[in-house]
Amino acid sequence: MTGRKLAKVILVLVFVSLLAAPVVFKRLAARRAQANASIGATAAASRYGFTLQEVAQASGVNFTHQAPKLDSRLDHIMPQVASMGAGVSIVDFDRDGWSDIYVTNSGEGSKNALFKNMKDGSFKDVAADLGVADVNQPGTGVSMGAVWGDYDNDGYEDLFVNKWGKPELFHNDAGQKFSRVTDKAKFPEWVNANTAIWFDYDRDGRLDLFLGGYYAEDVNLWHLKSTKMMPESFEYAKNGGRKYLFRNLGDGVFEEVSQKLGIDTRRWALAAVAADFRGSGNTDLFIANDYGISEQFFYDGRQFNEVGKDTGVGFSPKSGMSAALGDILNTGRYSIYVSNISEEGVLIQGNNLWVPRDGTSGDGLRYDNLARAMDVEIGGWSWGAQFGDLNNDGMLDLYLANGYVSADRNQNYWYDFSKIAGGNSAIISDAAHWPAMEGRSLSGYQQKKVWLNDGAGKFVDVAQAVGASDLYDGRAVAMVDLWNRGVLDVVIANQKGPLLIYKNNVTPENKWVAFELEGSASNRSAIGAEVRLFWNGHQQVQQVSGGSGFCAQNQRRLHFGIGKNPQLEKAEIRWPSGKVETIEKPLAGQTYKIKESA
Amino acid sequence: MSQSATQPIGAAVVESAKRRRLSPDNRYIAPLFITCILLVGHLSYGILEGYEKTGIAIISAIVAELILGRIFLGKWLNLASAYISGISVGILLRSPALWPFALASVLSIMSKYVLRVKGRHLWNPSNFGICALLFLAPETVAALSVQWGNFKWPLVVIWILGVVIIWRAKRIHITATYIASFLLFAYLRSFITGDSWWAEVAPITGPMYQLFVFFMITDPKTTVKSQKWQCIVVFFVAFVELFLRLNHVVHAPLYALFIVGPIAMLIEIWLESRRTMVLQESNAT
């Protein structure tokens, strides 16, 4: 064989090998995943340190979300337009020390539910008795989500319900009932909002409220003036709803200050989180937008300045669905997880995990997207996500809900969706141009992800192995220690599906410690307060959140897993007021109830 | 006289040389144009997640071309073609991972050396590389399928520039035939499916098609030689795309070219070899 012929043979072999390589690697990965998924509960508990058991029905929680029925001119694409509204937020509304669950519903006339924790493993829906069920009356819009915060500092958490419609505020009357105080609060008549969070941006000790519009506020989805209400672009849309920042004036009245303070955007917001990202003492704001880039606003004490392009989070447009914060590397800094859309062979956006870049801080803070490097990139059509230490090993894990429209299993709408998504704004923005769904699925029946943080820079999906095996169209995810056992359970609100409660069974070797904070100079809910825990050379920061993920709010209690044989050094509490308090050598297995010193 | 006679000739030579200097080589116009689209798109809209993916695609294609050209053709090849393949992969392929960009580019270039018949390669290189990855690694890659921006003017400018460049390259008939066929079949699809004609036309208003109609279907190396047959072939690309679209194939245009392109090339090669044989026979007799 001549040298030239030999080279040709080698070339062909290399060519064929390169063609085969993706298939071979894919099969190996699938085999490995299959082996991991089918190990059984005992082996999963032993290997991963926890298992999840779905107990909603057994706990007396029998709630199924209903979707709205919008203007008939949207009938042909109704499942994808009326595809949100399953929200869940955790609260201890009656201050009995046990977390309760508030769930939103979205059918016209449907009822929201407030599941009171009966402390015996069961829950009872008390929403109707207490006056927070009937908030979806025809003509007023329907619920999209809800967040709890003690806006008047009376010690009881009040309820804000964001809707495609009239936003509603309910005052908690000492845990006995709720009074509707919307009119006094002076909220706008109509906002198509999919995100709301409580935070005290001006640190005056009173909770303020951010409300993010999705569809423009002049769109009434039940009575369309025009079918030109869809996004003008799949990735560059700026024709969504406006944003609102309601400053709490202290007498039950809120003043809208968004534009005055620099928050002036019409991107399609689906999620927001607030935190002191820079360690500046001010609370900044992050907005995950559908059909576009995320936005990050740094608050300088007077103005919010949009810095997303500078920090790196606001350059590449995707479909932001959810935003969650977590100190995933135990470095004392928050990473931001933003879920997006990935569908095999059609659209691979990948989720974003924005990790603060080493050596950057303050106004020079920069982020790198490490989702791929840390294996939390591909979920599906991803929605709500939350961080929490599910096995108490000292590293924050990640739960991700997936699935958009589950209809006919054998037919999917992706071809038509991709056809229109690539079109010019004049085409995509008009619902009349969108092909009919005709009962087809769109990223339906998707598995969820439970990504376990291995502490070495990787996450491993253990969802199927530990028991998170449902295929509902997941939306909101909330983490909460429902039975005060020192573990984080997971509550999932599904679109047109049942509310799920995954009871977490953690192997006892790993320890925990928790902190329940109550502000005095700071807002009484202590939203925005941070606990920085130091143990065994680790440092982890968590903050009390006024809403995170997608249409969700975790428990206010901060739960830290601390692994085996923890040597706890101290817990440093930084209140929104700026005060710092330290608990020396806290004990494992304790829930510390800390009131801000006067 | 003679002086006056030689002066215009000298001036003409100088003028011609000057024109050559000012007029860029046709081979470099397309890469230049695509690079401009890419840079403008990225700087205005952030169409790329970062430069590294496109960079890897381009570098991989160029390195592969240099090595394979040296080994199999015994020379260092002009890199304009490899650059176009690489940048096309970088723009048209979408993946959060880096490796698909390198792999698609290398496969694109290798296909020119492996999949050859009678000295001609059959597939448009980047079409081959992108389709290979779409077939083989759909969980990791997708093709560019969304609009870059909403403003009409950049779109208009890109179309005008594209038309000028492709007209200058004497291949406007291919693009025009394809667009006319696409619009015709869009009407037919709309009639068959009941979907709005706008929905059927929507894809061609996106950036993927801008690159497809100007640079992929017009590639001189992988299109047949006669103008008439170029038009017929590209009509068949649109025709196959029609069937793929009716069967809900998302990347229909890329696959249609993947199917039709090499068939057309094979037929032409076969016809040419028959013609040569006949000529040889007649010469012999």
HEC per residue, A197-209 = EEECCCCCCCCEE
CA distance A347 to chain B (A): 5
Average pLDDT score over residue span A538-542: 97
- Cβ of A13 under 8 Å from any chain B Cβ? no
User: What percentage of chain B reaches a pLDDT higher than 90?
Assistant: 48
The CA distance from A102 to A123, in Å, is 11
* Residue A481 pLDDT class (50, 70, 90 cuts): very high
CA A114, distance to chain mean position in Å, is 20
pTM: 0.92
Three-class SS state of A162:
strand
pLDDT of residue B209: 85
Average pLDDT score over residue span A131-135: 97
CA distance B252 to chain A (A): 10
| C-alpha dihedral sign at B66, B72, B74, B77 | negative
For the ranges B34-48, B96-110, B213-227, B240-254, the lowest mean pLDDT is seen at: B34-48
The CA distance from A545 to A273, in Å, is 8
CA nearest neighbour of A162 among A103, A100, A212, A90: A212
Residue B260 has pLDDT above 60, yes or no: yes
**DSSP label at residue B220:** G
Residue B151 has pLDDT above 80, yes or no: no
What rounded mean pLDDT belongs to chain A? 96
The CA distance from B23 to B29, in Å, is 10
Tokens of B156: 């208009």
CA distance A14 to chain B (A): 9
Tokens of A315: 């350059």
Contacts of B110 in chain A (CB under 8 A): 11, 14-15, 18
The CA distance from B60 to B105, in Å, is 6
Closest Cβ–Cβ partner in A18, A236, A433 for B45: A236
The CA distance from B92 to B107, in Å, is 15
| C-alpha dihedral sign at A514, A516, A522, A523 | positive
pLDDT of residue B4: 39
CA distance B259 to chain A (A): 18
**Distance between first and last Cα of chain A:** 90
pLDDT of residue B16: 55
CB atoms within 10 A of CB A220: 18
Residue B102 has pLDDT above 70, yes or no: yes
- Cβ of A414 under 8 Å from any chain B Cβ? yes
Average pLDDT score over residue span A149-154: 98
Q: Is the CB of B147 less than 8 angstroms away from the CB of A23?
A: no
- Cβ of A373 under 8 Å from any chain B Cβ? no
CA distance B5 to chain A (A): 56
Closest Cβ–Cβ partner in B136, B196, B245 for A19: B136
pLDDT of residue B5: 40
pLDDT of residue B48: 72
* Residue B154 pLDDT class (50, 70, 90 cuts): low
pLDDT of residue B1: 34
What rounded mean pLDDT belongs to chain B? 85
Q: For A11, which residue in chain B has the nearest alpha carbon?
A: B114
Average pLDDT score over residue span B35-39: 80
pLDDT of residue B144: 77
Q: For B111, which residue in chain A has the nearest alpha carbon?
A: A15
CB atoms within 10 A of CB B242: 20
The CA distance from B230 to B178, in Å, is 10
CA nearest neighbour of A246 among A212, A296, A280, A276: A212
Higher pLDDT, A175 or A422: A175
Q: What is the pLDDT of residues A23-71, one digit of tens each?
A: 999 999 888 888 887 788 889 999 999 999 999 999 999 999 999 999 9
pLDDT of residue B2: 36
Contacts of A427 in chain B (CB under 8 A): 198-199, 201-202, 205
- Most A CBs within 10 Å, among B60, B140, B182, to test the A interface: B140
Tokens of A374: 């840390």
Average pLDDT score over residue span A98-106: 98
CA nearest neighbour of A192 among A341, A339, A78, A68: A68
pLDDT of residue B13: 55
| C-alpha dihedral sign at A143, A149, A153, A157 | positive
Q: Is the CB of B147 less than 8 angstroms away from the CB of A424?
A: yes
Q: What is the pLDDT of residues A401-422, one digit of tens each?
A: 999 999 999 999 999 999 898 8
Tell me which residues of chain A, numbers 324 to 343, contact chain B at a CB-CB cutoff of 8 Å.
343
* Residue A548 pLDDT class (50, 70, 90 cuts): very high
pLDDT of residue A52: 97
Residue B8 has pLDDT above 80, yes or no: no
pLDDT of residue B129: 96
Contacts of B251 in chain A (CB under 8 A): 345
CB atoms within 10 A of CB A373: 13
The CA distance from B134 to B144, in Å, is 11
Contacts of B45 in chain A (CB under 8 A): 236, 317
Residue A100 has pLDDT above 60, yes or no: yes
Could you tell me the CA-to-CA distances from B121 to A282, A409, B236, B266, B273 in Å, in that order?
62, 42, 20, 10, 15
Q: What is the pLDDT of residues B263-284, one digit of tens each?
A: 999 999 999 999 998 998 888 8
Q: For A347, which residue in chain B has the nearest alpha carbon?
A: B142
Say what the ipTM of the complex is: 0.86
Q: For A315, which residue in chain B has the nearest alpha carbon?
A: B46
* Residue A364 pLDDT class (50, 70, 90 cuts): very high
Tokens of A437: 């769904």
Closest Cβ–Cβ partner in B103, B142, B203 for A346: B142
Tokens of B231: 């038009």
Q: Is the CB of B202 less than 8 angstroms away from the CB of A423?
A: yes
Q: What is the pLDDT of residues A234-276, one digit of tens each?
A: 888 999 999 999 999 999 999 999 999 999 999 999 999 999 9
The CA distance from A583 to A560, in Å, is 15
Q: Is the CB of B147 less than 8 angstroms away from the CB of A421?
A: yes
pLDDT of residue B3: 37
The radius of gyration of chain A from alpha carbons, rounded to an integer in Å, stands at 24
For the ranges A117-121, A297-301, A422-426, B100-104, the lowest mean pLDDT is seen at: A422-426
The CA distance from A322 to A145, in Å, is 13
* Residue B258 pLDDT class (50, 70, 90 cuts): very high
* Residue B6 pLDDT class (50, 70, 90 cuts): very low
